[in-house]
Amino acid sequence: MIRCLLLLALLSTTALGQGVDPLRNLSGTTPATGASPWVRSGSGPLTFFHGFDVHVTHLTQTGPAEQETATFSTNWLGAGAQFDLGERAFVLARGRVSLEPYTIEENGYPQFFQYVPEEGLIGRMRGNDLVGEAAVQFGYRITNASLLSLYGGLVGQPAFGAAPAQLRASGIDFAEAPFAWEMQESVHDSTSVITAGWTTRLFTIEGSVFHDTVEAFNETEFETGGIDSRAARFTLTPTPNLAIQVSRAELGEGELLQRDMTSASLSYGGPWAAVTAQWTSRDHPELPGAESETAYGIEVALRASRNTFLVRAEHLDRPAGFPLAPAGPGVEEATHYTAGYIFDFIPAPARYKLGVGVNIDYRTKTHDLEDVYGHKPQGIYAFVRLRT
């Protein structure tokens, strides 16, 4: 076994030698699939990179006798700079901000059957914080295809799970968050993040310590606190278009806050198609009678010159009694589907994408909720989208 691991490491650091590019990191130290997410807009030793996404959405929720409508914007802007220290070392500073504290109501935007327990939100989805990432990464290239790195973030993503849906190639065009957000992505804006890793052309091994944020979101200030959580992740990247990760995290301290999380995912990104399949499990080891919760699903984006087709299917556990009166112990299963379409006015492969689109939700097992939510409750999200 040891010989096999040594051979794997040797192959990944020599025979595959096109080098490892830290600019392929999408969020924290999570790699992007497909093209690099950063665009070079300068020259010389100091190079700047940027990207953005803006959705302006009008929502109509059908089903209840009194239909709810809302208009809001989900958005983010990312930028960074790299400074080379000799031929092998570098320092990379990155940041990402969102105006959602100002473009989404304080209690989030409507989304049937969404659940964010940290804020007590049922049927609504929180907006992103003003600062989604503020971090510096130091790297040293052992060889052209092997990199040691140390990442430190006031705000950032630790070494756990796949990239956030709003950033990854398969999820960036959706106008709404996944229904499994609170299990799959709740650690993506952790604070006091420190991650050490070893990256080759074939795989990455990394570990993080960080502060698990449990305060209200949609904030203009980020929560600070002592390091109380840890995570580890192994990511296999056999090609630049494919990433397969398994990770484990222990979040929080104390009986009420501690959670043990496990994640596995496969992400593919190409010029005409992107796919993410992921599974997440959560345990509450210090809560008597608490059951394990799981969430798994797949999202697909198919792109042509002017047309994008989107599909997301999710199966996840909710507390018993959800959504009318969620309470434990016990879990209740739910399945959600989202389908979407976007027409772009600027054909591919233009640098910017401007289009109009729609997302439509569907959830199974709603017959018992007809008195409250009506017949086949659905969310219809019509939007304009501009992004790099």
Q: Give 310-362 as a DSSP string.
A: EEEEEEEEEEETTTTS-EEEEEEEEEEEEEEEEEESS-TT-SSEEEEEEEEEE
pLDDT value for 13: 40
Q: Who contacts 204 (Cβ-Cβ below 8 Å, separation ≥6)?
A: 29, 31, 197, 198, 233, 234, 235, 237
Contact 169, 273 (CB under 8 A): no
pLDDT tens digit sequence for 66-97? 888 999 999 999 988 888 888 889 898 989 99
d(CA 324, CA 97): 34
Q: Which residue has the tokens 């473009």?
A: 103
State which of 81-85, 188-192, 303-307 shows the largest mean pLDDT.
303-307
pLDDT value for 8: 41
Q: What is the pTM of this model?
A: 0.88
Read off the pLDDT band of 321 (50, 70, 90): confident
pLDDT value for 41: 59
State which of 144-158, 245-259, 321-335 shows the largest mean pLDDT.
144-158
Annotated domain spans of the chain: 65-387
Where in the chain does DSSP place strands (E)?
Answer: 25-27, 30-31, 46-62, 68-85, 89-97, 109-116, 121-125, 131-143, 146-156, 190-200, 203-211, 229-239, 242-251, 259-269, 273-283, 293-303, 307-320, 327-344, 353-363, 378-387
Does 214 have pLDDT greater than 80? no
Domain at 65-387, CATH from 3.30.70, 2.40.128, 2.40.160, 1.10.8: 2.40.160
Contact 210, 224 (CB under 8 A): no
pLDDT tens digit sequence for 229-281? 999 999 999 988 999 999 999 988 765 568 899 999 999 999 899 999 999 99
Contact 381, 359 (CB under 8 A): yes
Residue 148 CB neighbour total at 10 angstroms:
14
Contact 108, 127 (CB under 8 A): yes
Q: Which residue has the tokens 């509450």?
A: 284
d(CA 195, CA 206): 7
CA gyration radius, the chain: 21
**Mean pLDDT, residues 14-40 taken together:** 67
Tokens of 118: 């940290």
